[in-house]
Chain A
């Protein structure tokens, strides 16, 4: 056992932390929100969810095999499952199967493996896929539906669901606008935000009427990850508690969004939605806790993460408020991803025994 060939190099101690553990802890944190929403949107959403994750794992395996890398070893890191999971959570729950498959193709081969695989990608793969799908298939990608909980009278059975997911036969009269989308549309028709918010709450022209409380609990139209803000928040806090993520990015994203919303809402409540509305609607919590905090595509230093978070919050608010899309989180994250290398470059911490500029500290009292 002891010999020149078997001698190892130190340190001979290691923390129990592993990549796989990290990935599956994130998945665990996403689970409550996921399960609730799969229940809320029924069989079609479960089918789409399975298809999306499956497609991500399969495309990753194909890429690895083509690149001549160990397939099972790399798959076991859990990152493809997590990417698929996050992507599925941003899709309309009743979207057809090919949306999930095409999303996987955007996410894994193009956004991740083309850059060199795990750890090398510049952009968040799930967000690249979502944005590519949204730009290419705007109608399908905005076909939000009102909740049809499993086993409820209005919920489609398994056979109908297969027809919805694999046949693309979405029944009439189930689609509904998300809160952000509704406010945006109404504003373009000249209806002030405060009025449309109340109307959305009353559900004057919807098949389903969420009240403002439902916005937070998640009983409302939207993607899987968009709807239950509270469950996502609980998952995010769990990640912080497990020290998978730190407070820097989530707090700055939410804080900036809230501040901008509140500030402009005070200036003109007719044009600008209130801060709290921005924070609890859309995919704000999912973005702040799970998407923007992605290790690979966010800055490594704490100071860099603060800058990154403020950028994401600010851009999300700008896009939601002034741009053509009602939801801007995905765009904001991608834009800030592209700045990550440069943020890292300029937030390098001061080295021990050196000045900020990198020179050795001057000697005190040099004779």
Chain B
């Protein structure tokens, strides 16, 4: 306790604008010209949110077979607890966490384990998964259920319960939530940032969750506040969802240390480092974590699930997914059992015609699937279907870089994508990392979005990073080999 108060003093809740008059003036002007709080740079893609923004969350039926990959999160894959042929009940644990940075899996439906084998993923390589044949005649009641009061639980118990629930970042990050509640030694969390930005085009599931699952969300925030020992929570919402801000403000009891704030609608506002900058004017050091500035960030969807599951001791078996895009007949927001194949989802919403590309997540950072058998996993916030003639799939003529500087003004972390792109063409992958901070790029796609020469910058950077990773591994193997002999 004594150790912690010492840290608290120097890491108090920052009060923005107190440092100097200039800064205050600066922020005043910023707000005058730009409206709500924001970060530097970024882009304003067409939102397409009107397709689903006012579609209430509906329940998706069960597919015949669910595919539950053992690695749906960052960290180690879960270890199966079931055998082929075993019957499982909805909500029953079917795989356990492997050490701390891992989460268990729960049966998303009552049925029988048909196989444990390889399944396709959006990332590319096939991955071990549990194939669950659904009993359609079963009641699909969640029997794994035990009431408990999180307010009476200790911090340690809550963190354990969050891991047991199999909770990961549902905004797309898929980082195990309990790990974030346990800051590295010497870090104290003062503020909980609740991410309700949803800056990706098309996606509206977080918007609906804030409107429809408000009480579960507030319960989840209180649990996370207790677990992280944070003093306050701020819900950051882009100002294209002011109805959600008003709704939250009305529902949050006055004595709670929770506020809802609008931030500018700008991509990538929902990137955690950007949102921390917008709300608190704090900059997470390069290569660091939000905990380094005393902040923990959770997505609204994650906390709504937390508020729903923890008091009942249940596991994560479904999530809200936006199914949208110009190729979809009846777009909407759906509660989808984890493991539902994308093919089934698209059959349910209906297609207008042939498919061009199907993206898991949003169009900026999401991944196109190579097969419709890819299942919805815990981190899939949206399924966006594009028709073959969609402009973003058209073959664009690539011209040389004309140094227009658009990408420099778009990059939220002020990298020089133009220079990085030239270096990538020259295959100077090492220089990209050593002199131009390639590793800090989080592949938000802003540079590729604005490039008038249609240079696929983000793709170049992904390739360069993976080549650098391979080179590093080879180098380490070489060092290992020389050490041994």
Contact = CB atoms under 8 A, between A and B. Distances in A.
Interface stretch (A3-11, A135-143, A205-213): A3-11
A14 B396 contact: yes
B122 to A, nearest CB: 9
B359 A367 contact: no
Given A348-B416, A361-B283, A13 B45 contact: yes
Contacts of A362: 285
Contacts of A354: 285-286, 437
Given A10-B458, A12-B368, A364-B11, 19 more contacts: A2-B372, A9-B368, A9-B458, A10-B368, A11-B458, A12-B357, A14-B392, A18-B454, A296-B402, A351-B413, A351-B440, A353-B284, A353-B286, A361-B283, A361-B285, A365-B188, A365-B294, A366-B186, A367-B185
A352 interface: yes
Given A353-B273, A354-B286, A13 B363 contact: yes
Contacts of B143: none
A337 to B, nearest CB: 12
A260 to B, nearest CB: 27
Nearest to B120: A4
B450 A367 contact: no
Interface in B72-96: none
A79 B408 CA distance: 22
Given A10-B363, A13-B363, A351-B415, A21 B283 contact: no
Nearest to B122: A7
Chain A interface residue number, banded: 35 or more
B331 to A, nearest CB: 16
A277 B469 CA distance: 60
Interface of B: 3, 6-7, 9-11, 43, 45-46, 185-188, 201, 273, 277, 283-288, 292-294, 354-359, 363-372, 384, 386, 388, 390-393, 396-397, 399-406, 408, 412-416, 418, 437, 440, 445, 448-450, 452-454, 456, 458-459, 462
A63 interface: no
Interface stretch (A32-40, A112-120, A158-166, A187-195): A112-120
Contacts of A117: 400
B440 A353 contact: yes
B357 A19 contact: no
A15 B273 CA distance: 24
A9 B286 contact: no
A22 B92 CA distance: 59
A57 to B, nearest CB: 17
B437 A118 contact: no
A363 interface: yes
A118 B285 contact: no
A267 interface: no
A301 interface: yes
A16 B201 CA distance: 16
A152 interface: no
A2 B449 contact: no
A365 B452 contact: no
A119 B421 CA distance: 12
A167 interface: no
Given A1-B388, A353-B288, A295 B396 contact: no
A92 to B, nearest CB: 30
Contacts of A2: 355, 357-358, 369-372
B414 A118 contact: no
A243 to B, nearest CB: 9
B370 A7 contact: yes
A199 interface: no
A350 B364 contact: no
Contact of A360 (B43, B286, B415, B418): B286
Nearest to B45: A13
A323 B4 CA distance: 70
A7 B216 CA distance: 38
Contacts of A295: 402-405
* Shortest beta-carbon contacts, A-B, top 7: A11-B445, A365-B10, A365-B11, A352-B413, A367-B186, A12-B363, A353-B286
A6 B356 CA distance: 9
B439 to A, nearest CB: 11
Contacts of A214: none
Contact of A352 (B187, B354, B414): B414
29 contacts: A1-B357, A7-B369, A8-B357, A9-B368, A12-B368, A12-B386, A12-B392, A13-B46, A13-B449, A15-B452, A117-B400, A119-B402, A295-B402, A300-B408, A300-B416, A300-B418, A351-B286, A351-B415, A351-B437, A351-B440, A352-B412, A352-B440, A354-B285, A354-B437, A362-B285, A363-B285, A364-B294, A365-B10, A367-B187
Given A22-B404, A296-B402, A10 B359 contact: yes
A15 to B, nearest CB: 5
Contacts of B283: 352-353, 361
A7 B391 contact: no
Contacts of A74: 399
Contact of A11 (B405, B406, B449): B449
A303 to B, nearest CB: 11
> Which of A10, A117, A349, A367 counts the most B-chain CB atoms under 10 A from its CB?
A10
A8 B277 CA distance: 32
A95 B284 CA distance: 61
A17 B405 CA distance: 13
B355 A349 contact: no
A10 B11 contact: no
A81 B64 CA distance: 61
A105 B121 CA distance: 55
A338 to B, nearest CB: 15
B400 A120 contact: yes
Contacts of B390: 12
A300 B284 CA distance: 26
Contacts of A15: 43, 45, 449-450, 452
Contacts of A4: 370-371
A77 interface: yes
A351 B358 CA distance: 34
A10 B405 contact: no
Nearest to B436: A348
Contacts of A22: 402, 404, 452
A4 B126 CA distance: 12
A125 to B, nearest CB: 13
A7 to B, nearest CB: 4
Contact of B448 (A11, A352, A358): A11
Contacts of B392: 11-14
A119 B401 contact: yes
A79 B400 CA distance: 11
A361 B368 CA distance: 35
Nearest to A21: B452
Contacts of A3: 370-371
Contacts of B288: 353, 360-361, 363
A17 B445 CA distance: 15
Contacts of B400: 117-120
A26 to B, nearest CB: 12
A210 B9 CA distance: 74
A334 to B, nearest CB: 17
